[in-house]
Structure formats: C-alpha cells, structure tokens
Structure 1
Amino acid sequence: MSTSTAHDVTTPVDPEIDRLLALARLHLGMEVAWLSAFTEGEQVIVAADGETAAMNVELMTGTALDGSFCTRVLAGTLPEVVTDARSHPVTRDLAVTRDLNIGSYVGAPWHGADGTVLGMLCCLSRHADQRLTEQDARFVRMLADLISDHLSSPAALARHLTRRSEASVREVLQAGAVHTVFQPIVSLRTGAPVAFEALSRFDPMVFATPDRAFAAAARCGLGAELELLAVRRALEILDRLPPGIRLNLNLSPEVLTAAGTERLLLDHAGHDLGVEITEHAQVYDYPGLLAHTRALQAAGVQILVDDAGAGFASLSHILRLRPDIIKLDISLVRDIDTDLVRQTMARSLNMFATETGAALIAEGIETATELDTLRGIGVAYGQGYLFGLPGPVPST
C-alpha cells in the first residue's frame, strides 16, 4: 500500500505520521484519515491518507473550526463515532457534511506537552457504517496519543509543516504544474484591452490559493524557483497575444535581481512586456534593484509598481524606481464612488503619475459607479471583474 496525500504524494514526508494515518484508516476500513492542526479559529489538514480527492479533502488548507465535526466532538455535543452523518441530528445539516460528502466519522484530539489540544486525528468515509463502535474510538484515541508524543512540541509541528510544504512545492516544480490565466487591463475611455496580467494558478488540492503556494515556497527557500517557473509559463504565450498588447509579469525584487532573471526577460524584450514589482516588504538594496530595472527599461520592458497606496513599501518603490506605470491598490478603488477620502487619494496619485510621466492603472474595478468616478478623476486605465475575469489568453 502506498501512502497518499490530498495531492497523491507517494513518498512520505514524515514516515511516522504517514504510518499512523494509514494504520488508522485500514484498521477502521475507512476511506480517508487525516491529521489537522488548530490555528486562529481554523483547522489545517497537515497530513492525509486515502481517497482524499474523492472526498474533497485539501491538504494545507484552513477551514473554520466552528463549522466542523471536530469542535463539536471537543465540546461534547457530538460523539467521537458517527455512524451515519447524514441522519445524525448534529451533523446532518452541517455544510461540511455536504461539502466533504461525509457518511461516517471517527475523531480524537491530539495534544501538546502541556495537555493543550493542538488538533484532531479523523477518519472518514462517504458511506454510513454501522459497524463503527466505541472500540474504534479507543483505537483512534490511542493513535492520537502516539501522534501527540511524536509532535508534542511546537518546533516538531513546525518542522512537519515545513517538510510537507516543501514536498508540495517540489512536486509543483518537478512537474511544472503552474497554470497561467490572464486578466485584461483596459482603457477606461474606450474599454479596449491594452495589456493582460499573467496570474498563476495551482491544483487546488495542493494549494488552495496562489498566495499559499508562493508563501510555502518562500518559507522553504524555493520562492525564486517557483516565481521563475511562473514567469516561464507566462512567457510561452507571448506570440499569441494580439499586436500591441502588453504582457505583465509579477516578480519580487529578490527574484528580479537574481542571477539569470534579467537575461530571461531581455531575451523576450522584443515583445511588449511589463514587470510588476510585487514585494510589500522593505527593499534594502535599491541601487542594485534600480540597475536591473534601468537595464530592462532601456530594452523596452516597462516597469510597474503594484498596490500603490497600500503601504510604505509601494510608495518607496515609486519614489526610488521611477516606474513607467503605477497600479492603484484595490483598497483605494473599492467604494471609491461613495468615499471622498479615496477619491482625493486617487486624484493625488493620478496627478503625481501625470507629472512624472507615468500611467496609472486602477485595480479591482467591479461596478459601473466606481468606473464613472475613476473616469471623472482622470484615471486612464483599469483592471477588475467589471472588464473580465482571469481566463485563457485571448485569440488573435
């Protein structure tokens, strides 16, 4: 029997945890066993074994504790064994019963060294199972105690999470498993597209959101590799873009200044290309970053600063890098039609952009009234669901 996780990993990241999960699942004859960790009102499934995809179980994804079986077991309002979740009065109307198609369930908590509940060991199946008894609950409690001994310290749990995240990221890198979608940036005057921003997507059974994927990669030292894979995937469609339409790529300053990145971009500089600098943290080597952005601009690559108005970092980028394009953060665009403060801020940034020779793009436009307000302020370009969802590259 090969150990599997929510994304069909066949090589165990923590052999002891994987062994105990497989033992729990096989002994009870159930389809899935998982180990969760509690954090800030959520439970995150940190390891899983069995038919996870069939039950919509997502690894490393947080779900609200208040909607779970687990919190009810801990509160004493639900027994550790549920033989028929669709008919049990506590679970039959829960969204998680429907979402995960839970028919039967056995769960027990695992603890830290001080006795604090840190998470749950759960076994689930899609079908009801009247064979499950209190003896099965005792078996799962015993395995949960073994897991507690193995992961009782925060450092041990952190190491487990890091190993699991690193394994997931390495799988993505090895398989090249990045899917690129494109969102239009349009002229607010005509509505015609002037550019497309390339956005990365991942298998949701591996990483529920792109942010989670890039954060996991950064934590285990693989952030640059994942960013560059995303860039290479996006560059594959350059020849299919309509003439005169720019392709915008997202890069952090660290990756933009890394060896080989500038060469990769310059090799494609004959196309209409833009680089959105996405970092929110402080940059300590602006001269080094500036040398790279100047070389790209000299070759015709446009430099964009993302999320203007969202914090100090983006304003520092604007002042130091002198970008070709400034992107007005969605937090300033949302409800701008009814908020005088947002209107004043947008007007000031638009004036700044105009006087420094930069263009301004408003991000996150969702309503016609937001569009009308931004037009009235004089913003030339926009992006948001009002103009199009991220999707396939448009045909020429």
Structure 2
Amino acid sequence: MQGSYDIWLVLLSIGIAVMASYIGLDMASRVNLAKRVHLRQLWLIGGTLSMGCGIWAMHFIGMLAYNLPIPVAYHIPTTLLSLLVANLVSGLTLFMASRKSLGWMKLLLTGTIMGLGIAAMHYVGMSAMQIAPTINYDLPLFSLSLIIAIIAAVAALYLAFSLRDENSPSTIWKKAGSAILMGIAIVGMHFTGMAAAVISPDSICTAAAPEYSGDVLAVIVAICSGLIVAATLLLGMLDARVARQAEKEVRMMTRELRDSEERFRTMTERVRDIFSILSPEGIVKYESPAVMDALGYEPEELIGNNMFELVHPQDNEAVQYQFERVLAGEEMIRPIEFRFRHKNGTWRILEAFARNELANPAVDGIVVHSRDITEHKQSQQTIWNLAHHDALTGLPNRSLLQDRILQAIHQAHREGHKLAVLFLDLDHFKHINDSLGHHVGDALLQVAAQRIESCLREGDTVARLGGDEFVVLLPSFQSDADVVMVADKILEELGKPFEIDGHGLHIGVSIGISQYPRDGKEPGHLMRMADAAMYHAKANGRNNAQFFTEQIDSVARERLQVENGLRLAIQQGELRLYYQPLVDLKTNVVVGMEALIRWEHPERGLLSPGSFVEIAEDTGLISIIGEWILGEACHQAKQWNDQGFALQVAINLSVRQFDSGNLHQTIVHALRQSGLPARQLKLEITESTMISNIEETSQLLERLRSLGIQIAIDDFGTGYSSLSYLKRFPIDTLKIDQSFVRDIGVDTDDEAIVTAIIAVAHSLKMGLVAEGIETERQLDFLRGLGCDIGQGYYFSKPLPPDAFTEFMKNRT
C-alpha cells in the first residue's frame, strides 16, 4: 500500500528537528558552564526533556505527515514508550557532552548507542500504528536508517562537546549552522526509516477510527512540543544574555581589580612603609620592596614563610592574639608594637596595623601595614633617660628617684616590710672643687658614684640630686643591721684615696638614714628626714651615718623655719645692712666701710649672718639677698657721698652670684640706679669663689675692674692661697683673715703668716686690709709691718646707717 506526504507537516517536522538540535547544543553549553552542582542538574534535566520532546515531536509529526488510504490509530502506551526512549537518548547526549574529556573511542561508542537509541525511538513509534497485517521493513533501507542515525548521533555529540565552552555572540551562528545539519541528518534518518516500511495493500486499521484527524494531531503535538522547545530556547537565550552581561561585568571588575592591584603595588613599592599580605594562617603571600631596606630581606625570601616565626618570642603571643581578633572581623584602633628579626639577626621594633581583606578577591588576605620605629623608640628612650638621669654620672635623678621610692612604698605596704632612704653628702668636696676646678670635681663625682653603686645589692637604687648629694634607696631590709652594713660599706669605699688627674684626694661622706613606715610614708617626707639626719651626721664630726630621730627632727624643723622665715624676710623687708668702718692705719682716717647683713627677726631680734647665711647659700636665696645688698649699699654710699663723706663701700659676693650668669648686669644696674661712682665700690670674694671657674671668673673680674671697681680677696690665707692665682687674677687688695690677726702677740706662727701675707701684697703692689683688730697691740704690729687699712672692734663695731653717720661726724 502506497501513501503520500503532507509537505507542510514535513517542513514542520524539519523545523522542529532543527530547533531540537539547537537546544541540544545550547543545553550542553549551559550544563558545562554552570558552576554549581544543582544548576548543572537543573539544566541537564530541563535540556533532556526539551530536546527529547523536540526529537520525538519531529518523529511523530513526520509519521502523521505520511497519509495512507486507510484510517490509522496509534497505541498510546507504545507511543509514550517512544517518547521515553527519545528523552533517554537526549539525556545521554547532554550528559556525555558535559564530561571533562571525550576521547574518540568513547565518542564512537556513545554515538553508536545514541544512534541505535534514536532508531529505537523511531521504530518503536512505528510499531504503535494499529494496522494489520503488521508493517514489514526493507532490510537495505532499514540498515541505512541505522547508519544515518549513528552518524547523526556521533556528529551531534561531537558538535555539542566542541561548542560547549563557547559563549560569545559568534557561537550562536556556529550552533545554528550545526543545528541545521543535525536536524537534516535526524530528519533524513526518519524518512529513510519511513521509506523502509512496507505496508500490505490489504492492510486495515485494527482500532476504532481516531476522533481527530492526523493533521489536527500534528498541530496539537507541534504546538505542545514547540511551546516546550520555545520556552527552553527562550530561557537559554535569556540565560546567555545574562551570562554575557555578567561576563562583561566580571571583565570590567577584573580590569578594575587589576588596575586597583597595580595602583596598590605602585603605592607599596614607592613608600618606605612595609605592606604585607598574609593568609589566615600567617603565611606571607606578598611583601612590598620596602622590606629590603627595613629588614634586609628580599620579598621573595619571606613569601611562603610563616610571619610569626620571625616575631620575638616574648611578643609572639600578643601579636597572634591581635591577628586572631582581626581575623574575627574586629577593626584595629591602635597599632601594635613588636620586635621582628632583621636578616642580620638583630631585633627591630615595628609598629603595625592589620586589616581583614579576605572578602576582597583582589587581595584575599590580611593586609599588614608596618613601619620600623626602632630609631624613634631609641630616641624616646634617650629623651627619657636624659629627663630621668643625671648627665654627669648617669645615675637616676631626683624625678626618677621619687618615682622609685613611691613604687617601693606601695610594695612595702602590700608585703608588710620596711624600706630605707640614705641621704649622702660628700665631705670636703666643695673645697676640692673650688681649689682644683670643676673638671677635677666632676671626675671625683663620677668615681664616687661608681664606688657607691658597688656597695649596693641588686634592686637597690642610687641617685644623684645635684652637687655632691646622693640618695640611696634600699627597697627592703630585715633589720637596722642590714642598713648599717650598707652604710658602712659606703663609708669604707668613699674613705679610700681618690686618684684624680694626678691629685691624691681624700674625702668622706656624711649619711642620714630614714625608714618607712617609722619616719614617714611619703617620698618627700622620707627624703627630708634623711636629709635632716645627714646634717646631724655632719654636726657630729662628718664621715659617719646617723639614723633619723625625733631630736634630729626638731633641728630640721628649726632649719626649715629659718628657711621659710628668710623667704618672708626678703618679701617683708626685714633684712638690714650694717656698716663697719675701714681705717687708714697711717692717717687714722676712715676711708671706707664694709657692708654687713643682719636680719631683724620679728621674734628673735637682730640676727647675725652666721645664723642664716649658710641656709641662704644652700637654698639659693643668697642670689636674691646679694642683689638687694648691692643695690642698698650703693644707694647708701651715694647718700653719704652727697653728705661729704666720700667713702668706698666693700661688699661680699657669694659663689652663687658668680654662677647666676648675670652678676655683671646686676652690679652695673646698682651703680646706675644709685649714681655711685664705680671707683667707690669694692667687691670682696673668697679664694674658693675666685677659682671655682677660673676662666669665666677671671674674665668677669677683668670686665668689672675695667669699670673702675676694685677687687679684694676676703679671708686670704684660709683657702687655696696660690701665688700663681694672685698673679693671674686682677686683684687690688688682700684681706688678712681675723683668725690670724686674733692671735698676734700670742701665737708666733700666726704672726709669721701675717708677716708673709703683707710681704706678698707689697711685692705684688696690692693693698692690704687686716680685719678683726681688737687691741692696740694688734694695731701696732700691723702698722709696724706697713699694713694699709684696718677693720675691727678696736675702731667700731658694725653700725646701722644712722649710727654710722653719727660716727663719721664725730670722727670729723
């Protein structure tokens, strides 16, 4: 029995075959490009159904396109079985096309199975036709259809595998062309199989006539399968568009990230700070070139190594703790400082900030920004040392000492033990310093500091307060015997001779001791009590140690009262100047007077200099008092000058005034303010003051003498009486100390000394003043030796200004 084909249905079947082929190629790409497993599975299932239904629809419409002279019905279960076979074949195609690799043998074997599966779908579908007798097949054409099916399957699988990785606009045309070829091949196989069917002329339909005609069924199947195929195709196109847009955005982001990374690298390579990228385990992933200058490593030497292995063991735990906090998402507020091993083995101090950039794909790590602050820390330490240590000896200064005493008090309070403070003052140091100069005194202080340190235990502290004062802190001791042992060691060591700059020197030390908590509970109080005990040691013959007692406390309180009263006296004008006449021994005429200070105390009455000048020297108040004396004495001398008494006023200067640095200006100011001629001013200095700083003192005296001011050495013979110094300094007058004058006529040694001093003064053409003359015998002796001027109670005691005026009037 011969039939005919409906050309429109044939064309429709060809179109569906092409669409199904395109879907197969496109789904292979979707499955392969999907990154997540569940997306791959969804595209595989969806593609299988769409492609399988498309191929089956092509087959079924192709069968409906074949018109027989008899009505034809189809067995539904068998028809559905052919649909199932079509989907299985499609699923196998997409599954194999999504594999990582597909060799030729696997391609041919899989293609053969797929081709036979397609043929099986066709012939199972043909068997669903309910006609009798059954359809026979022409063997050559049947075999050809199988071959076409296998070739079409191999080609489809190859094309699907080859085009799966491409996702560019040009790929669509490649897939379209391939789909047309595949569709024609599948249709060719179908119609070859149809041609192989031999239907008997007397065949009849064995089932009831179908309710719908073949054309209607074809349209229904075409519409249903077309909707499925079109929906899948539309989803694929939308997915492709989204994928292309996403790919474009990814390319843009990649370019931006690449540019950002390039800027980051450029920045890190041009700055001195170190930039590192670490993995969560601390492994170095990147190092900036600055690490070479800072730490000596090439970046490649550190990459791949664990950063924590180069951190100082004592700092490692803190660094890892901070690193873990950054890993947990915490932001660093302050940098962390730690020691890091330099390539040369030394430790450098780094300051670092870390930031978690694990979520940034361009970084993917912990960014550490660090800098070498070793020199900065060393400078800080140097500044701290300068602020808390004595420049000469390197010992702690007063500030650091007070801090350590305070810490020791807190510890002693917690642990219930005692501590001791030892106040040390070197005996006879001032004499050595004044006589031999500051360079010898400084060297002596340095050696003394070393000796004191050698007497202490580990944990004890020795500090220099200034001058020749030291303080020792014993932060703990069991009994007073322990403190005495340390004090005795210091006395012994400082009692040994010192060899300084060729001089064999001998000093001692006076030590005052206070204890916590017995004598005080504050650093300042303990030091004051120890200081008071030290003065008691000096009063007891020097070179001994004394514990603080209540009796000493009363003496210290009295000294403090004098100091405070003296400050008040300066403010309230309680200081007075008395004047003792200077008499020409040849003519018995008053030629001048010495200004002598007194303190008119509101409670204790008139006080002599011996009761407060030493305290004024120790506290520095002597500078203020000395300035007042200069102004007041010059003013008074000018008043007497205006009254017709042209007298020269002699004023004593303290070494503290020389150290102030403004003595010249002070003297010039006093002369200008008073109007007193400079020739009527004589300045008296001691030998020790004169040589305390030889160069500066000599220059200052020369400047003063150039103004017309006379210079006298007071108490000559009691200090370092060097003739070379007399020749070197601009001296006008020598004053013979009253200790030599007092025993004239009693002690031949003193007479010999006075005789020698007068002879020296005459030979150097200097004037002479003998002070302390009290008897006529003393006066006659001095006058007989040619002494120029005399001073003492023989002529007059020191007088207040009004009484001195009367004295002068009476003398006239």
TM-score (norm 2): 0.29
Q: C-alpha distance in 2, partners of 1:235/1:278?
A: 21
Amino acid at match of 1:168: G
Give the match for residue 401 of structure 2: none
Give the CA deviation at 1:354.
1.3
Q: C-alpha distance in 1, partners of 2:688/2:723?
A: 10
Cα pair 1:247 1:274 within 8 Å, conserved? yes
Q: Deviations over 1:326-382 (max 9, x none)?
A: 000111111212433222222221121112121011110000011111111111211
Give the match for residue 292 of structure 1: 700
Amino acid at match of 1:195: G
Residues 1:270 and 2:672 are matched in the alignment: no
Q: C-alpha distance in 2, partners of 1:358/1:169?
A: 37
Q: C-alpha distance in 2, partners of 1:255/1:316?
A: 24
Amino acid at match of 2:571: Q
Give the match for residue 36 of structure 1: none
Higher relative contact order (CA 8 A, sep 6+): 1
Query: Equivalent residues in 2 for 1:334-349 (5 A)?
Result: 334-349=742-757
Give the CA deviation at 1:153.
6.0
Give the CA deviation at 1:257.
5.2
Residues 1:373 and 2:781 are matched in the alignment: yes
Query: Which of 655, 667, 670 does residue 253 from structure 1 map onto?
Result: 655
Q: C-alpha distance in 2, partners of 1:367/1:226?
A: 33
Query: Which of 529, 535, 552 does residue 156 from structure 1 map onto?
Result: 529
Give the CA deviation at 1:318.
3.4
Amino acid at match of 1:240: Q
Which stretch shows the higher mean deviation, 357-366 or 209-218? 209-218
Give the match for residue 593 of structure 2: 196
Amino acid at match of 1:333: V
Query: Equivalent residues in 2 for 1:82-93 (5 A)?
Result: none
Q: Deviations over 1:188-242 (max 9, x none)?
A: 1121111100000002428843123221122223221122222222222022224
Give the match for residue 166 of structure 1: 563
Give the match for residue 26 of structure 1: none
Give the match for residue 626 of structure 2: 227
Amino acid at match of 1:156: M
Q: Deviations over 1:56-101 (max 9, x none)?
A: xxxxxxxxxxxxxxxxxxxxxxxxxxxxxxxxxxxxxxxxxxxxxx
Query: Which of 615, 628, 637 does residue 216 from structure 1 map onto?
Result: 615
Q: C-alpha distance in 1, partners of 2:714/2:632?
A: 21
Percent sequence identity over aligned pairs: 28
Cα pair 2:773 2:779 within 8 Å, conserved? yes
Q: C-alpha distance in 1, partners of 2:794/2:606?
A: 27
Measured at CA, do residues 387 and 206 of structure 1 come closer, stay the same or move farther in structure 2, by a change above 3 Å? closer
Q: Alignment partner of 2:745: what SS? A: helix
Measured at CA, do residues 206 and 171 of structure 1 come closer, stay the same or move farther in structure 2, by a change above 3 Å? farther
Which stretch shows the higher mean deviation, 356-365 or 199-208? 199-208
Q: C-alpha distance in 2, partners of 1:196/1:170?
A: 27
Q: Alignment partner of 2:612: what SS? A: helix
Give the CA deviation at 1:164.
3.4
**Paired positions, count:** 252
Measured at CA, do residues 316 and 387 of structure 1 come closer, stay the same or move farther in structure 2, by a change above 3 Å? farther
Structure (1/2) with the larger helix percentage: 2
Query: Equivalent residues in 2 for 1:1-396 (5 A)?
Result: 155-156=528-529, 158=531, 161=557, 163-204=560-601, 205=604, 208-241=607-640, 242-256=644-658, 258-267=660-669, 268=671, 270-271=677-678, 272-278=680-686, 280=688, 283-312=691-720, 318-393=726-801, 394-395=804-805
Point out where structure 2 has 5 or more consecutive residues left out of the alignment.
1-478, 481-517, 533-555
Give the CA deviation at 1:179.
0.4
Q: C-alpha distance in 2, partners of 1:211/1:314?
A: 27
Amino acid at match of 1:226: I
Q: C-alpha distance in 1, partners of 2:659/2:767?
A: 24
Amino acid at match of 2:589: A
Q: C-alpha distance in 2, partners of 1:324/1:234?
A: 20
Amino acid at match of 2:624: E
Q: Alignment partner of 2:638: what SS? A: helix
Cα pair 1:305 1:318 within 8 Å, conserved? no
Q: C-alpha distance in 1, partners of 2:681/2:651?
A: 8
Look at both structures and tell me which one has the larger radius of gyration over its CA atoms: 2
Give the match for residue 213 of structure 2: none
Give the CA deviation at 1:180.
0.5
Q: C-alpha distance in 1, partners of 2:567/2:662?
A: 20
Which stretch shows the higher mean deviation, 361-370 or 207-216? 207-216
Cα pair 1:350 1:360 within 8 Å, conserved? yes
Give the CA deviation at 1:383.
0.4
Q: C-alpha distance in 1, partners of 2:723/2:619?
A: 29
